[in-house]
Structure 1
Amino acid sequence: MDPVIIVGAGPVGLTLALALARQEVPSIVLDEGPGKDEQRLARTVVLREDTTALIERLTGFPLAEAGFRWAGWRSMRRKQVMRQIAFGDDEPAPLHVPQHVLTAALRAAIATERLVKVAVDSRLDSIEQETSGVTAHTREPKGTWWRGSYLIGCDGPRSTVRKLQDIRFPGRTAVERHAVAALRTELPWPGEALLHRMPPWRTSGPSAGEVTARPLADDVWRLDWLLPPGKDLVTPDLLVARVRETLAGWSGGTTPPYELLDTGVHTVHHRLARRWRAGRVFLAGDAAHLLGALGTQGLDDGLRDADNLAWKLSLAWHHGPHEALLDSYQVERRAVVAARLRAADQALPILRAGGLRSAVPGSARGHDSLLTDGHLGRGQLGAPGAYADSPLAPPRAESSAEVGTEVGDQVADVRVTAEDGSFVRLRDRLGHGALLVLLIAPGTGVWERKHWVTAGIMPRLAAAVTALPHHAELLVAESYPGAAAHTVLLIRPDGHLVTALSGVRPADLYEAAEAALGGPRATAEAAAGTS
């Protein structure tokens, strides 16, 4: 079968290529550039725990060591500290990393991956679809036709793929603008990210707004200043003045020594593609959505697109078309991003206008909570979202059990015993295309596996797992948040919970697995594809 064509060699496209390769699906990445990325410390990303684990799992690169985990979060209004958060086991710290470091790790992994071919200086100019595949043409010095099974547009906000498929991209342009500077200095809050609204040294006008400071490794900080509406030019002199004024304001009136490393202007747009699928063509990342008025989690959503789509494309590539399964990519991911866009569009006018502050008691603190959620990837403005209403969700069975994770949410990363008897983290078993069946069995961790793998309910559960309509891996954990002993969890290849059952219920487990694959029709199509 023909490889998958991925248009765009940014973090989302490269992540998708590696995720497919881990599931034995070949791909061709069309990179319109020379295959190198500019090093920009003013262009950074904030990743949550699960997306950091995704990148580390795919690349083998310790991304957490190359980035910086914040010690805490501090928000201020004028001179008052509104909120402080210390990150730890109960509140995992986001990872802040320069985007070029992330991309370099992905490129290094792809350089040794036999199933991924990167074609540099390859600019897409046409796409042709047939029932059996896709043909793409690139406008390189020697124009080339590429044949693929599917094509995914990961080619950014000005996506050529989206335009060639005549997919509308409505939304709002220039929702916000931020002046950005990366500099090396010492601030009074080492290791803590800071949101400062209405700083006292800027006492009037819309430019009084807010400034955000996010630490990176090696005493480097990214500072973002919210700019007033309009298209006023941000000159180097203006930016240097902002830097000196802000550092002096935080340091008691005297500007501390600093080294300016990089600058830029970040313009935020809010847009959402009408469709994310057109036959064998899909959109992902900035080609499908633009979101980022609060915080820098835009890329985090793009990586979730890649993770969601990879296992579904893998099943279709290996076993034949799973139309309901492939359709679920748009249904799940678009709904999550649309909800966040709606929440941001509703909150921003209130947060930025400030008119309600004097009329509604406590509104300033409420605004601060909303902003904090957006920056830290929590709540309506920042949480990654769940697939609670997914078409892949099974009907509730009589044996359904409640656990600390809602159906459709990402599962907790607990320690599990793998089939070979080794102890691993649950997230380490994701991304291989297999369903995961997790049995909660207290006490198993202190006994050798050979003593309990053939005892109790294990043989019956193992037989039920073998009989599932798709390859599944049986794991055992001593505990899971909110789960009783002998609870069985069924988990998708991207780590989202399908169902939790009380005890071994082969029929219910089979029905849930069948639903997670797109339903009986998709399963029948898969069987036909392998016959």
Structure 2
Amino acid sequence: MNTEAQVIVVGAGPVGLTAASLLARWGIQTLVLDRRPEREGAGSRSICQQRDVLDVWTAVGAGRIAEEGVTWTTARTYYRDRELSSWTFEREGPLPPFVNLSQSRTEQILDAAVAAQPLVEVRWGHEVTDVTQDASGVSVRCGQRVLRAPYALLCAGARAQPLRQALGLRFGGETFDDQFLICDVKADLPGWEDERRFYFDPSWNPGRQVLIHPCPGGTFRIDWQIAPDFIPAEADIARRIRQIIGDRPYELLWHSTYRFHHRLADRMRVGRVLLAGDCAHLVAPFGARGLNSGVPDAENAAWKLAFVLNGWAGPDLLESYHVERHAAARENLEVTGATMRFLAPRSVEERMWRRAVLEGGRVAEVDSGRFAEPFWYVDSPLTTPEPSRPFAGRPPKGASCPPAPGVILPDAALPGGRLREVCRDGFLVLLGDMCDSSLFVQVLGKVTTAPLAVRGLAEMDGTGSLAERLGAGPDEAWLIRPDAHIAAIIPHAGPESVAAAVSRALGGSPDT
């Protein structure tokens, strides 16, 4: 049966809820289906949310995630009983670099944001078992019912293999043998509430790792790497916790075990169906690149689906979703794969090298996980390259990329708000002092019917310092996409050159 929805989102996890909320911001009616009878209320699960993900959630009315989460200040790394290193995140822009907050609480906040959107309907207890499509739309089967919409976005998680198979997709990769035991523990641990601790080969977990993260309300998330055949018993869990916290009182709130997976679907777009989050890619959690890559999937998919459905771009724009987010997933797999080879070496050579690094205190070579970062769409067909603004490559650990075409726009405080807040209502053209904004408005209004704003950099903060902070020249025009990525930086800019960049960013030919 046909629905009123323009997009069916399969999966009401954080990625699916984010996508539905973003689609609603663009005026797109969305139906969210989830196989579970109701929301699960326990367990930290994915806890670490990166700044640019917090930015997206703030845009959809879920800013409480950034407000309630804990931002630890120091990351300490130990080898056995010796501290190898400690370092601190630098705060860049108005939002914290990340927060720790349980996935359960994150989902509650996102549920509230979705409930406030009249264009989103969520149906629990609707397991999607099949998906088919034709030239005019997508059909999803839920039991005896078939629901239909023009497009579908699959955010159904790692266990969505039947849906991937229905689309003819492979989900190649591997699963690591070792398990991880995770526990949410409430305890009074003075000095630990603002530190993340990573232990290599401690005496109380010999040959393996332990990771401890602070969370709100005096709780801590503890991850132990454990043997493949280990079955945790209550007494063993208690013993492991005592080895870390001593004789202090504590409360075990939740525990579970899991294995790491390293997998990627061969396509993230199949016709009118897009895949996002764990449904499309699985990575080891060190570096928090799971949910922190799923949310950018959702944002990338949402603005492109909305532009196509609103008639602002042709359907070819959707292929850039696969191009951009598949490349981002491959980057995450490369980074997390290197981390897992260090954490769980599989060959004699890898084990010897790791031991030499740790015992030698070669801090620069210790890999406990490179933290999640926004991907750079440098090679995207939507990006207009500029030789004078080359991409500098993967930045040093903990650093941001200098602005360049394809890189996300740095955030900055503005009178009454933030720079990124004005980016998510459409395309944004930022002009240097030497550019006449009235000429650009006239020409660009004839190029596209998509939402597009033209703003002078000097007028945005009233001081002229924003251009200096961004490194923007007085005769430059910067074209910013709806997901805050820089589509073009054009020196000696004229309306025609910017119009060509807009056309390209909408999926048109680079020459149009």
**Is it true that 1:512 corresponds to 2:504 in the alignment?**
no
SS state at 1:319 partner: coil
| 2:194 match | 191
5+ residue gaps, structure 2 = 346-350, 393-400, 458-463
What pairs up with 1:27-38 in 2 under 5 angstroms? 27-38=30-41
Q: State which of 491, 498, 515 in structure 1 corresponds to 2:480.
A: 491
Residue 392 (structure 1) aligns with = 382
Write the deviation string for residues 402-456 of structure 1: whole angstroms up to 9, x where unpaired: 993122111101245xxxxx74312212333x11112245xxxxxxxxxxxxx97
Q: CA deviation at 1:504?
A: 3.7
Contact 1:137–1:145 (CA<8 Å) still a contact in 2? yes
Say if 1:111 and 1:123 are closer, same or farther in 2 by CA, change over 3 A.
same
Contact 1:400 1:502 in 2 (8 A): no
Report the Cα offset of residue 77 of structure 1. 1.6
> What per-residue deviation string (whole Å, max 9, x for no partner) do you get for residues 192-235 of structure 1?
11112122445x4x3xx22111111111110111113x232122
Q: 1:182 maps to which residue? A: 184
Question: For the residues of structure 2 that align with 1:210 and 1:484, how far apart are their CA atoms?
Answer: 48
The letter of the residue matching 2:6 is P
AA partner of residue 145 (structure 1)? V
Structure 1 residue matching 2:297: 3-state secondary structure: helix
Cα displacement string for residues 482-502 of structure 1 (whole angstroms, at most 9, x for unaligned residues)? 223343210110111111123
Distance 1:80 1:467, change over 3 A: farther
Q: What letter corresponds to residue 445 of structure 2 in structure 1?
A: T
d(CA) in 2 for partners of 1:104, 1:506: 45
After TM superposition, the score normalised by the length of structure 2 is: 0.87
Contact 1:78 1:197 in 2 (8 A): yes
1:468-479 equivalences in 2 (<5 Å)? 468-469=447-448, 470-477=450-457, 478=464, 479=466
Name the counterpart of 1:431.
Answer: 424
**Structure 2 partner of 1:4:** 7
Residue 313, structure 1, aligned to residue 305, structure 2: yes
Decide whether aligned partners of structure 1 residues 514 and 400 sit closer, same or farther in structure 2, where only a CA change above 3 A counts. Answer: farther
Question: The residue matched to 2:212 in structure 1 has which SS?
Answer: strand
CA contact (8 A) 2:423 2:483 kept: yes
The farther-off stretch of 507-516 and 109-118 is 109-118
- Distance in 1 between the 2:406 and 2:369 partners? 25
Instruction: Name the structure 2 match of 1:116.
Output: 120
Distance 1:93 1:60, change over 3 A: closer
1:133 to 130, 133, 137: 137
Once the two structures are superposed, the pairs formed by residues 144-223 of structure 1 within 5 Å of their partners are 144-159=145-160, 160-174=162-176, 176-187=178-189, 188-202=191-205, 204=206, 206=207, 209-223=208-222
How many residue pairs end up in the alignment? 481
Task: Spell out, residue by residue over 1:231-270, the C-alpha distance to the aligned partner (whole angstroms, 9 max, x if none).
Answer: 321222211111101223xxxxxx3222222111132111
SS of alignment partner, residue 156 of structure 2: coil
Which is worse superposed, 324-333 or 90-99?
Answer: 90-99
Instruction: Tell me if 1:98 matches 2:102.
Output: yes
- The amino acid across from 1:169 in the alignment is F
| Contact residue 401 and residue 500 of structure 1 kept, 8 A | no
Alignment partner, residue 413 of structure 1: 411
- Cα distance between partner residues in 1 of 2:382 and 2:365: 36
Q: Please give the residue correspondences for 1:373-384 in structure 2 after superposition, counting only pairs within 5 Å.
A: 373=370, 376-377=371-372, 383-384=373-374
C-alpha separation in 2, matches of 1:295 and 1:117: 33
**Could you tell me whether the CA contact under 8 Å between 2:313 and 2:507 is conserved in 1?**
no
Specify which of 289, 295, 306 is matched with residue 297 of structure 1: 289
Deviation at 1:467, TM superposition (A): 3.8
Change (3 A) 1:16 1:266: same
TM alignment of 1:308-387, pairs within 5 A? 308-319=300-311, 322-353=314-345, 354-357=351-354, 362=360, 364-368=362-366, 370-373=367-370, 376-377=371-372, 383-387=373-377
Contact 1:29 1:118 in 2 (8 A): yes
CA distance in 2, matches of 1:31, 1:290: 20
Match for residue 73 of structure 2 among 71, 81, 85: 71
> Identity over the aligned pairs, expressed in percent?
29
CA deviation profile, 1:173-198 (whole Å, cap 9, x unmatched) = 23542111111223343311111212
Tell me the SS of whatever aligns to 1:271: strand
Q: Indicate conservation of the 8 Å contact 1:23/1:431, yes or no.
A: no
Question: What is the DSSP-based 3-state SS (H/G/I as helix, E as strand, rest coil) of the residue aligned with 2:101?
Answer: strand
Distance 1:44 1:2, change over 3 A: closer
Is the contact made by 2:303 and 2:483 (CA closer than 8 Å) also made in structure 1?
Answer: yes
> Does structure 2 retain, via aligned residues, the 8 Å contact 1:177–1:266?
yes
Please say which of residues 99-108 and 180-189 is displaced more in the overlay.
180-189
Residue 74 and residue 6 in structure 1: after superposition, are their counterparts in 2 closer, same or farther (change >3 A)?
Answer: same
Rounded to whole Å, the distance in 1 between the matches of 2:335 and 2:177 is 14
State whether residues 284 and 306 of structure 1, in contact with CA within 8 Å, keep that contact through their aligned partners in structure 2.
yes
* Alpha-carbon distance between aligned partners in 2 of 1:397 and 1:199, rounded to the nearest angstrom: 49
Tell me if structure 2 keeps the 8 A contact 1:46–1:297.
Answer: no
RMSD: 2.7
**2:22–2:302 contact (8 Å) kept in structure 1:** yes
CA shift at 1:459, angstroms? 2.5
Q: 1:522 to 1:506 in 2, by over 3 A?
A: closer
Cα deviation, residue 133, structure 1: 1.0
Secondary structure, counterpart of 1:189 in structure 2: coil
TM-score when scaled to structure 1? 0.84
Instruction: Name structure 1 gaps, 5 residues minimum.
Output: 249-254, 378-382, 417-421, 442-454, 524-531
Three-state SS of the structure 1 residue aligned to 2:310 is: helix
Q: Contact between 1:47 and 1:297, CA under 8 Å: does it hold in 2?
A: no
